[in-house]
Amino acid sequence: MKLLKQYLKAVKMYLPREQRKDIINELEENLLAEMEDREEALDRPLTELEQETILRKHGNPMEVAARYGIPHRSVSFGRQLIGPALYPWYILVLWLHFGLAILIHLFLAVFKDLPWSIIGVLFTLFIQFGSVTLVFVILDIYHRYSWQFKCFYVEYLHPVSRGRSAVGLIFWGIYSFWWAAIPSFPSLVLGTSGGLILAPVWNSFYWPFLLLLLAGVVQRTTNLIRPDWNWLPPVMRLLINLAGLCLLFFVLKGGPYVLLTDTASLTQAAQDSASRISEFIFASLLCFGVYWLINSAFSAWHCIRHLRYRLYRRRESINSIEGV
């Protein structure tokens, strides 16, 4: 009942503090009873997507909460611009801005001898009012449309979007071509400025990096054909990032990354330039390393979620076979 918990958590956020627990307990009971009723009619447990349908039908958490006696104050101009859930925050932020603006005007008038003018203060307040209102209108739109994503987006329930796979395929394809073409066209990395060549250290890492890029292409192509293999992206991301990190460890130990051609190495300026480029490449690789490390951690977390879900499904199917 993960989805139900997520949904109730979203409703809870908008409820008055003193009634929160009571309302949520009651709502949980009623929704559970509805789900059980449906299970009884179908004679099997509900799938997550069926649970999702019931909760979607129940409505937007903000609107559900608003029915439970939150004062129905809102900002409207033709249509509701800031709903009751955000209204108290809007008023609070607005007063804070007004207070702060007046204090700043007072401070400038008293301590900096700047002239105090009512028009100036009113203009500042008007600007504050406009900007705070605009921000809250945008927040309200966001809240109204993002609830489904927040409550129900559980990656292991949804197939990988074909659009996402296609875009990924284009990008990873371009990277792979670029990397594959470097031995024949070194200018793809160092440009056409003469005097610099890639150091031999890259030779040992050429094929491993190309394989990693091709693995990315294979994953996106596979998901384009089989979007239902939603476990593939986190698994591949984890493997690619970990392998990338291992390679990077050796690359970082292996500098310099660019060398000078025989004719160019004669000048001190060219040597300084080559050394600066090597340092720049080292720093860039280090940044990549940090990014891959964070990405690996996220991917590992996603893999664990998928694994837990699959184990849960397996347990559920064993239980249903055994009639537990």
Partner 1 sequence: MNTDRFEALRLELRRGCLSLAVLAQLRVEHYGYTLRKALSDQGLDIDENTLYPLLRRLEKQGLLTSEWREENKRKKRFYRLSTEGEGTFGQLLDEWQKINQALDRIIEE
Q: Is 81 in contact with 141 (CB distance < 8 Å)?
A: no
Binder among 1, 6, 12, 34 for partner 1 (CB under 8 A)? 34
Question: What is the DSSP code string of 164-193?
Answer: HHHHHHHHHHHHHHHHHHTTT-THHHHTT-
Q: How many helical (H) and strand (E) elements, i.e. helices and strands, does the chain have?
A: 11, 4
Q: Is 84 in contact with 72 (CB distance < 8 Å)?
A: yes
Query: Residue 153 CB, nearest distance to partner 1 (Å)?
Result: 23
Q: Is 183 in contact with 206 (CB distance < 8 Å)?
A: yes
Residue found under tokens 């004669």: 266
Q: Which is nearer to partner 1, 4 or 212 (CB)?
A: 4
Query: Residue 67 CB, nearest distance to partner 1 (Å)?
Result: 4
Q: Is 108 in contact with 114 (CB distance < 8 Å)?
A: yes
Binding pattern for the stretch 67-106 against partner 1, x by CB under 8 A and - elsewhere: xxx-------------------------------------
Binder among 5, 9, 32, 114 for partner 1 (CB under 8 A)? 32
Q: Which is nearer to partner 1, 29 or 279 (CB)?
A: 29
25 binds partner 1 (CB under 8 A): yes
Binder among 6, 38, 59, 91 for partner 1 (CB under 8 A)? 59
33 binds partner 1 (CB under 8 A): yes
Q: Which is nearer to partner 1, 16 or 130 (CB)?
A: 16
64 binds partner 1 (CB under 8 A): yes
- For 16, 74, 83, 140, the CA distances from 87, given in Å and listed in that order, are 13, 6, 6, 9
CA distance 302 to 253: 31
**Of 66-74, 83-91, 266-274, 283-291: span binding partner 1 (CB under 8 A):** 66-74
- Give the residues lining the site for partner 1 (CB under 8 A): 23, 25-27, 29-30, 32-34, 37, 58-59, 63-64, 67-69
